[in-house]
């Protein structure tokens, strides 16, 4: 519709706009909360991680120096702001998942953010024991495990090839 990606073809329709796509998939696969307040917290946590992930996705459009700066800033922000928040959330409620002790799309989004940052700095979780356990737990959900196995559909971070293709 907007001549942009991402675009998902599913259920006989074409979905565009990142947040609308995620919202559709979350509703379809029961990854929202059990009530409005839980759903709000899930959306809030997921949006918080999405902002940082976009910094990685958009870094490819920058000059090499700007890209390096932007990625370093993202790793720093995750270590000092983002990951401490999620570590605290997990510590306070002591549950397996971020919201309502039930698997939601905020858990998927946080796992993806962790994996993205670990590709830049493998030791990024060293000060976050609960997030390390969280990562293992979510990784071990059979559908997630299958999705992440080597050679799977998970895409590598965008590189200069994506920019060449666009322009």
Ligand X SMILES: N[C@@H](CCC(=O)N[C@@H](CS)C(=O)NCC(=O)O)C(=O)O
Q: Given the rule CB under 6 A, which residues bind ligand X?
A: 3-6, 17-18
**Residue number with the shortest CB distance to ligand X?**
4
Transcribe the chain into DSSP letters. Answer: --S-S-EEEETTEEEESHHHHHHHHHHHTT-S-SSHHHHHHHHHHHHHHHHHHHHHHHHTTS-HHHHHHHHHHHHHHIIIIIHHHHHHHHHHH--SSSSTTS--HHHHHHHHHHHHHHHH-TTTTTT-HHHHHHHHHHHTSHHHHHHHSTTSSPPPPP-HHHHHHH-
State which residue, 4 or 123, has the beta carbon closest to ligand X: 4
By C-beta, is 17 or 139 nearer to ligand X? Answer: 17
Of the pair 17, 70, the CB lying nearest ligand X is at: 17
User: Tokens 């976050």 belong to which residue?
Assistant: 128
Please report how close the Cβ of residue 54 comes to ligand X at its closest, in angstroms.
9
CA distance 36 to 68: 40
Minimum distance, C-beta of residue 19 to ligand X, in the bound complex (Å): 6
Nearer to ligand X, 10 or 129 (CB): 10
CB of 2 or CB of 12, closer to ligand X: 2
Give bridge partners of residue 7 from the DSSP assignment: 16
């Amino acid at each position: 519709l907007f001549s942009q990606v991402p675009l998902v073809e599913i259920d006989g329709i074409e979905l565009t706009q990142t947040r609308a796509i995620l919202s559709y998939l979350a509703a379809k696969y029961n990854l929202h909360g059990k009530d409005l307040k839980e759903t709000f917290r899930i959306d809030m946590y997921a949006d918080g991680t999405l902002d940082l992930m976009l910094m990685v996705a958009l870094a490819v459009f920058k000059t090499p120096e700007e890209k390096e700066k932007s990625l370093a800033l993202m790793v720093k922000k995750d270590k000092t702001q983002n990951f401490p928040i999620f570590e605290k959330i997990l510590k306070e409620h002591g549950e397996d998942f971020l919201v309502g002790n039930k698997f939601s799309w905020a858990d998927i989004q946080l796992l993806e953010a962790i994996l993205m940052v670990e590709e830049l700095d493998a030791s990024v979780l060293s000060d976050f024991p609960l997030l390390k356990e969280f990562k293992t737990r979510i990784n071990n959900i059979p559908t997630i495990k299958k999705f992440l196995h080597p050679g799977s559909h998970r895409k590598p971070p965008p590189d200069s090839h994506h920019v060449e293709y666009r322009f």
